[in-house]
Structures are given as C-alpha cells and as structure tokens.
Amino acid sequence: SPGTMSGSGSEEPQPSQAAEDGQQEAEQDWAAAKAFYDNLVTKRPRPPKPQNAITVAVSSRALFDLVEERRIYEEHGVEKYVEYQQKNENVTLKPGPAFYFVKALEHVNARLLELYPDDEERFDIVLMTNNHAQVGVRLINSINHYGLTIERFCMTGGESPIGYLTAYLTNLYLSADSEKVQEAIEAGIASATMFTANKDVVYSDTQLRVAFDGDAVIFSDESEQIVKEQGLDRFFEHEQQNENKPLAQGPLKGFLEDLGKLQKKFYAKNERLDCPIRTYLVTARSAASSGARVLKTLRSWGLEIDEALFLAGAPKGPILVKIRPHIFFDDQMFHIKGAQKLGTIAAHVPYGIAQKYRKST
C-alpha cells in the first residue's frame, strides 16, 4: 500500500502507456527475483514486495544511539568518523529512539506469519541512512546482535534519501534529522523526527502501541488555523457547526489506516482480544465541545481507534506514561518535550500552521 498522503477518495490520474509499460517491467523483475529466491533453501521469510508491504524506513540515528559518533562527525569531520566506525565495528551499538518500535513491528510480523504464512501484507523495515557504505558493517553487526530482521539497506553516502523513500513506496519514515523529515513531508511521505526519552521505560514486547495526536497529525491543520487566527471560542463554534463534515486528512492518516488493516487480519482469525496492535488518539481537544467531529471523521473513514483520550488542554505526558506507547506522534514541540521529560519516545511531525510559529529543532 503506497505510503503517500493522498486519500482513498481522491481522483486518481489515468496512467500513461509508458507508466503502464514500466509497471509491467517492474512486475516481471519481481517475478524473476521471486523465482530466484524460491529456489534457495532458507528458513527466513523473504522480504515482501513494497507494493504489498507496509514499509517503515528508519535512519541509523533513529534505530541506534549514535550521539557520540555524531559528535565525532561534527567536530572532526567525515574521515575521522568513518575511521572510528570501522575501528569499532565489533562494538554493538546501543538502542536508539526507534529501536523498541521496530522490535514491536517485528513481533507483529511474527504473529502475522503464524496466521498467514503466504501473505505479504506485513511490515518491512528498511534502514535508510545517509551513512557511507564503509559504516555498514557496524550497522549490520548491531542489527544481527539484536536479532532484527532488516534486509533492505539504503546507504546514500551523504545524498538525500527522498528518491529512495519514493521508490520503496514508504509508508512511514523516521529519522533524527528534522530537515530530511521536512523534505519527506513535503514530498507527501508520512514522516517524523525521533526524540529519545529522558527516562528509561519498560515497553510491551507483546503489543505494538502507537499513540497519535489528532489535528495536523491524523487530521489536517484546519482546526489549528482557526484556533491561532480566531481563538478558542470561535474554534468550538466552528467544530459544532461542522460536526457532520469530516475533517480533511493529515500526514499520518495513511499509517493509522495501515495499522487498522493489520488489526482486522487478527480479528478475522478471532484474535481481537489478543491483538498485538493497539492504537491511541491523545488530543488536547475537549470532548464535549470539539470531540464529536473527530470521532465522526474516523467513523466516516471506516477507522477504529482503540482508545480516544480528550485532554481539554491538560498536559499529555502523564497520560502517555500510563499508555507507554512505543511511539507518540505530535506536531507541537511543546507536547514532544513534555512527553520526553516523562519517558515517552516522541516523534515530531513538521506539518501545518504550528510550524510557522515554531520551526522544528
């Protein structure tokens, strides 16, 4: 399922003959690659085709703790950095902010493969890094040390990864570099900048927990524009007047949809009570004055969210401590910092009007 932000209801342009020919050639390439792999004897599941997979691209600084290595790079330059990485290629890297999220995705994959051994609709983790190839051995050694299944690597040697993200039909891109994330968002790819939690927290290893803010994350920033330009009272009035008009979609609507699709696969096998995916909406909206439109919008999209928490402006950090999500997406750095302080791994989505007031850092 392609990871662009265009909605399922949008008009699809008619493909040209050249595009159709290209598609056919790509299908033939995949058929040839599949035939080759099928002849190899292996117990490892083959990575799924990007068309079928939910592709999550993660940067090396999101997956691993590379703070010290980054310091060497910034203070001494790329040559010393590469030399340091090669000298330490047998020293395992410590987990970074996206590490436990990736582990949880892999647990979901393991459960899906038990229930649907021949189905390719599952997560495919791609390591998308602008590192030079010489650093690859240390990354591979660390991935193998933790038993992660990351077969696809893009090491772009300082070049922008956006073209590769598009080629892999990326559904979600997580990076520690806010400029690259901004570029990806502008290219229509669901994307967020990862921030490490300030406290160590124990995360569930049997259930993937993903928490989303609402406006400018799952939904568009229409409501935030009204709050900023006309104030809170006008916003409440507007939301009640438009209660039955669905909100426009935001950058992470597609990823919430992907999670919902996988949840339904577990429900179909009577696994609802033991589903390894749980989704949360954690919004500063108040339920009575602006909650109905949100819930009706989700219903109009055919999406179920497991828990909806309307905080009416209260801080999100204490609620997130209870949820312990593997990742929490928000468009406001104020909420990201509050969540971080209390031990939540937060991901900043640089989208919408809030970015005009506070540039992503």
Q: How far apart are CA 218 and CA 351, in angstroms?
A: 11
Q: Are 207 and 261 in contact (CB under 8 A)?
A: no
The answer to whether 317 and 330 are in contact (CB under 8 A) is no
Q: Distance (Å, rounded) from C-alpha 288 to C-alpha 300?
A: 20
* Residue 200, number of CB atoms within 10 A of its CB: 7
Q: How far apart are CA 213 and CA 344, in angstroms?
A: 14
Which residues are catalytic, by number?
A: 213
Q: Taking a C-beta distance cutoff of 8 angstroms, is the pair 33, 48 a contact?
A: no
123 phi and psi angles, rounded to 5 deg: -75, 140
B/e letters for 146-167, b = 16+ CB within 10 Å, e = fewer, are bebbbebbbbbeeeebbebbbe
DSSP characters for 144-197? HHTT----EEEE-TTS-SHHHHHHTT-SEEEES-HHHHHHHHHTTB-EEEEE--
Three-state DSSP class for residue 54: strand
Q: How does DSSP assign 209-232, residue by residue?
A: EEEE-TBTTTB-SHHHHHHHHH-H
Q: What is the maximal distance between C-alpha atoms in the chain? A: 65
| Angstrom distance (rounded) from CA 315 to CA 284 | 8
Q: Is the dihedral of CA 102, 108, 110, 116 positive or negative?
A: negative
Measured between its terminal Cα atoms, the distance across the chain in Å is 31
Can you read off the two tokens belonging to residue 21? Answer: 């020919």
